[in-house]
Amino acid sequence: MSTVEYIIAFLGAIVVIGGFIYGIYDTYSRRKDSDHKTENPESERAWH
């Protein structure tokens, strides 16, 4: 493999790993938000 191919493979691996990290973070963030909403249901009703 040439140097260019190594660089492209490295960048592709970074994109894949970054996607997994973002997915885990997004899931954690959504779960944290939904837990916060269920803790105090009266404040949820006050907005509607």
pLDDT tens-digit profile of 5-37?
999 999 999 999 999 999 999 988 888 777 665
Distances 23 to 16, 17, 36 between C-alpha atoms, Å: 11, 10, 20
Tell whether the model's pLDDT for residue 41 goes beyond 90. no
Per-residue model confidence (pLDDT) at position 7: 97
* Tokens encoding 30: 């959504």
Per-residue model confidence (pLDDT) at position 35: 65
Per-residue model confidence (pLDDT) at position 32: 77
CA geometry: angle 39, 44, 45, nearest 5 deg: 130
Per-residue model confidence (pLDDT) at position 45: 56
End-to-end CA distance of the chain: 60
How many Å apart are CA 26 and CA 32, to the nearest integer?
10
Per-residue model confidence (pLDDT) at position 37: 58
Residue ranges in the chain assigned as alpha helix (H): 3-39, 41-46
